[in-house]
Amino acid sequence: MKRIFKIVGFIFLVVLITLITLAVARRGTREAVYQPPVINNEPPSVSLSVPVDTVFCEDTLATKSGTLCAVKPSKTDARITDVGETTGKIKFRKTGFGYHAVGIPDDLANAKGIWVHFTGSYGKPYNQNDGTFANSVWLDEVMEAGYVVVQLAYDNQYSVNYDLCGVKTDGYNRDNCAGEVREIGQTGQGESPYRSTDAFNTIDYRLEKLLAYLENTQGIDLPGTINPTNVDWGTLHLSGHSQGANQAYYIAKNRLVAGACIIAGGFDTGDTVNPGKINIADWFLKEGNKTPLSAVRAILATTDDSYQL
């Protein structure tokens, strides 16, 4: 009898050990095997951009996303003016034109393209009289979005809607007054008694010379396949404020651009020649847009009485 109990006890012990072994094995298959953490001793990645030597800039301003550089327009071509009118009414002697402001993003090597911004009436992209950059927050945001931004100094010494073609001016009685002065400021083509921008101070010529100066003279590698001597507007993004907003839209309406942003613009006053139901400039009512409206955006204040929103 004792022998039987010993045999049964031995069998029970073997079975117990077997069950414990199986339980441990099953648990091991359910639990992840511990792995020590992988330690990466590689240095963090850095921008591939090559820092731009800004010694050629008349002044600079460091921003969160890049550097603003003031460029004297006459350095790009001696026939280009750095100031507006120096005679005539005193209030206009210190307004408009000024120096170009170029925003160079920190990560220039990965820039998406070029963005051109137009200031409003009387504004200077860089005011050489007091050493200030206009619209620095906006320019920084454009750089943050990945663009080289050019705030172009152009013929904005007079307001289209108040000084040249407004209801209290002689221009109000001229057919397509606003369209004429905008075309002359853009290309120098056409005639108007209210604007006489010469060929060397048009938007087209100033932009072409500025881009050529940056790339060919200063060796800045501009994004994309931009040809500074034959600018493809279809590769450019545009924006503008007030008069500059309407200039950006004027370009987008008549040329294909990559995109346009209208800030506090979208309206030029009409004229007394064949007036329509809405007192708005003829060029706004012209059929067709070279740039699809899907690529145009506008920012307007509902309290701005110019737009009757």
C-alpha–C-alpha distance, residues 114 and 172, integer Å: 36
The H or E element spanning position 309 is none
pTM: 0.80
CB 271 within 8 A of CB 177: yes
Indicate left, alpha or beta for 5 from its phi (over 0: left) and psi (-120 to 50: alpha). alpha
Pick from 17-26, 101-110, 138-147, 177-186: least confident:
17-26
Q: What is the mean pLDDT of residues 91-120?
A: 88
Question: SS3 of 199, please?
Answer: helix
Pick from 20-34, 232-246, 260-274: least confident:
20-34
Q: Which of 214-218's residues contact partners 24+ apart within 8 Å by CB, and which partners?
A: 214/71, 214/102, 217/56, 218/52, 218/53, 218/56
Sign, CA dihedral 46-47-49-53, equals negative
The H or E element spanning position 66 is strand 66-71
Residue 121: CB partners within 8 Å, gap ≥ 6?
95, 96, 156, 158, 159, 160, 162, 163, 242, 243
Q: In the numeric block, which tokens belong to residue 238?
A: 């545009």
Domains of the chain with CATH codes: 59-299 (3.40.50)
Question: Tens digit of pLDDT for each residue in 157-215?
Answer: 999 999 999 999 999 999 999 999 999 999 999 999 999 999 999 999 999 999 999 99
pLDDT at 51 over 60: no
Q: Give me the count of residues in the chain.
A: 309
Pick from 7-21, 33-47, 158-172: least confident:
33-47
What is the pLDDT confidence band of residue 6, given thresholds at 50, 70 and 90?
Answer: low
